[in-house]
Structure 1
Amino acid sequence: MTFDPASYEFRQGPGPTPIRASTVLPAKRELVKLDTEDGHTLVAELALPESGPVNATLITLHPLPTHGGFMDSHVYRKASYRLPALAGIAVLRFNTRGTASPHGTSSGAFDEGVGERHDMEAAVRFAVERGLPNRWLVGWSFGTELALMYGAVEPVASQVEGAVLLSPPLHRAKDKDLLQWAASGKPLAVLVPEHDDFLKPAEAAERFSLVPQARVVGVDGAKHLWVGEKYAARVLNEIVDEVSEAGSGAAGLPQEWDGPVATASA
């Protein structure tokens, strides 16, 4: 059974509620379908601020689906739970071809990052057609490869402001892709865990030196999957600082919410 975001039950507590891993803040959430140019239909969810302007739009690209990555991977869930309310940021999540998650299964089969180019293009096209402003790619692990390989070339390059990369392995993406980003001049924020399994901060700084505008941030204590509220919150703060003029604030995003909240089951 496909998860329905309308099933969240929001309740007003007696006072401010601490924001935990499973805390869901109010937003306008809808299940959507993305149609690729090569004939696939992708499962997706769009979370928008309940009111006020959309300050930025995140087009999220999930980790490797053959190793458990999907649109519901925890950092992206938490982005959709929190950022529409806390920062006025729209969050578009989707399963690439052949990927299944609690939100459903996209058609097709995993294509080693080749056919997935069409998936990313479909997501960007959807955001453009919906009139969502200030669009940014946010890739995590395998998703960083898609952003690097296809985000600085058309038809995507002219439709996005830049990208935020979480735990880039630089496995499929090569130096030529980094040089494409360098030539584009578009901002690139690169968050690298201290204990990453594939690319640690010092090596990342060296590899990304090909992109003069890249901002490489090593995160002490973190691992590839950003497990733990401390690290997930750090990622969200860094994303908001990169994509939003207002940023996350001197103390980071609020850690309490004085309003109705729901609790996610997972």
Structure 2
Amino acid sequence: MTFDPASYQFVDSGQPEEIRASSVLPAHRENIELHTEDGLTLLGELALPEDGNIRGTLITLHPLPTHGGFMDSHVYRKASFRLPALTGIAVLRFNTRGTSSPRGTSQGEFEEGVGERFDLVAACQFAVDRGLANRWLLGWSFGTELVLKYGALSPALEQTEGAILLSPPLKRADQTDLDHWAASGKPVLALVPEFDDYLQPEAAQQRFARVPQAEVVGIDGGKHLWVGEKYVQRALNEISSTVLGQPIELPTDWNGPMAKAQ
């Protein structure tokens, strides 16, 4: 059975409570479908601020599906749980082609980052069609490869403000892709864990030197999968600050209705 994100049961304890990994804050959440130019239907979820005041939008591209990546990869899931309520940022998550989650399985098969161009384009077009403001591409691991390869090409180039990258491996994305971003002039923020398995901060600085406007931020003690609330909090602070254009330090407590995810 497909999970219905509107089914969360919210309870107000009447006092501030710590925001934990499973804490779900109020938002308008709906299951969505994306339709690609090559005829596939992709399944996802959109989480919007309850008051309708959308200050920014994250279009998320998840880690490698052949290694457990999907729309519920934990940083993205927690972003959807928290950011609409805490920052007014909408979070669009979806399963790329052939990827499964409790939401369901997107049509198609994994295509090594080639056919997935259509997936990114469909997500950007959906965000435009829904009138979601201040749209940013957010990639994590394999998702950063899709952002770097296709986010600086039309039509995504004209539809988004810039890119935020979590743990970019720079395996599929090459110098030509980086040059497209350099030519675009659009901001690129790369959050690179100190102990990343694939690309660490010093090497990332060298690789991203081709993109003059790119900012590489090393995450002390961090690893590729961003395990641990400390690192999730850092990621969400950096993401929110970039999207909103001002320093953001997200609260760690919430005073109001809260639900608990399974």
TM-score, normalised to structure 2's length?
0.99
Q: For residue 144 of structure 1, report the CA deviation from its aligned partner.
A: 0.2
What is residue 262 of structure 1 aligned with on the other side?
259
Q: For residue 247 of structure 1, report the CA deviation from its aligned partner.
A: 3.9
User: Is 1:48 matched up with 2:45?
Assistant: no
What is residue 139 of structure 1 aligned with on the other side?
139
Question: Does the 8 Å CA contact 2:49/2:85 hold for their aligned counterparts?
Answer: yes
What is residue 183 of structure 1 aligned with on the other side?
183
User: Is 1:105 matched up with 2:105?
Assistant: yes
Question: Does the 8 Å CA contact 2:24/2:260 hold for their aligned counterparts?
Answer: yes
What is residue 218 of structure 1 aligned with on the other side?
218
What is residue 39 of structure 1 aligned with on the other side?
39
Give the Cα–Cα distance (whole angstroms) in 1 for the partners of residues 122 and 163 of structure 2: 17
**TM-aligned CA distance change 1:52 to 1:39, over 3 Å:** closer
Q: Which amino acid aligns with 1:55?
A: R
Q: Secondary structure at the match of 1:179?
A: helix
What is residue 231 of structure 1 aligned with on the other side?
231
Does 112-121 or 1-10 show the bigger shift? 1-10
Q: For residue 7 of structure 1, report the CA deviation from its aligned partner.
A: 1.5
Q: Deviations over 1:68-121 (max 9, x none)?
A: 000000000000000000000000000000000111100000000000000000
Which blocks of at least 5 consecutive residues in structure 1 are unaligned? none
Q: For residue 246 of structure 1, report the CA deviation from its aligned partner.
A: 4.4
Q: Deviations over 1:188-212 (max 9, x none)?
A: 0000000100000000000000000
Q: Secondary structure at the match of 2:220?
A: strand
Which blocks of at least 5 consecutive residues in structure 2 are unaligned? none
Question: Does the 8 Å CA contact 2:194/2:200 hold for their aligned counterparts?
Answer: yes
Q: For residue 52 of structure 1, report the CA deviation from its aligned partner.
A: 4.6
Sequence identity, in percent? 68
Matched pairs, number: 262
Q: Which amino acid aligns with 1:142?
A: F
Equivalent residue runs for 1:1-266 within 5 Å: 1-248=1-248, 252-265=249-262
Give the Cα–Cα distance (whole angstroms) in 2 for the partners of residues 208 and 25 of structure 1: 36
Give the Cα–Cα distance (whole angstroms) in 2 for the partners of residues 225 and 182 of structure 1: 27
Give runs of ≥4 in structure 1 deviating > 4 Å: none
Q: For residue 14 of structure 1, report the CA deviation from its aligned partner.
A: 2.9
Give the Cα–Cα distance (whole angstroms) in 1 for the partners of residues 80 and 147 of structure 2: 20
Give the Cα–Cα distance (whole angstroms) in 1 for the partners of residues 204 and 246 of structure 2: 28
Q: For residue 53 of structure 1, report the CA deviation from its aligned partner.
A: 1.4
Q: Which amino acid aligns with 1:260?
A: P
Give the Cα–Cα distance (whole angstroms) in 1 for the partners of residues 76 and 182 of structure 2: 27
Give the Cα–Cα distance (whole angstroms) in 2 for the partners of residues 53 and 2 of structure 1: 28
Question: Does the 8 Å CA contact 2:14/2:256 hold for their aligned counterparts?
Answer: no
Q: Which amino acid aligns with 2:218?
A: G
Q: Deviations over 1:141-199 (max 9, x none)?
A: 00000000000010110000000000000000001100110000000000000010000
Q: Secondary structure at the match of 1:45?
A: strand
Q: Which amino acid aligns with 2:194?
A: E
Give the Cα–Cα distance (whole angstroms) in 2 for the partners of residues 179 and 13 of structure 1: 52
Give the Cα–Cα distance (whole angstroms) in 1 for the partners of residues 5 and 156 of structure 2: 29
TM-score, normalised to structure 1's length?
0.97
Q: Which amino acid aligns with 1:79?
A: A
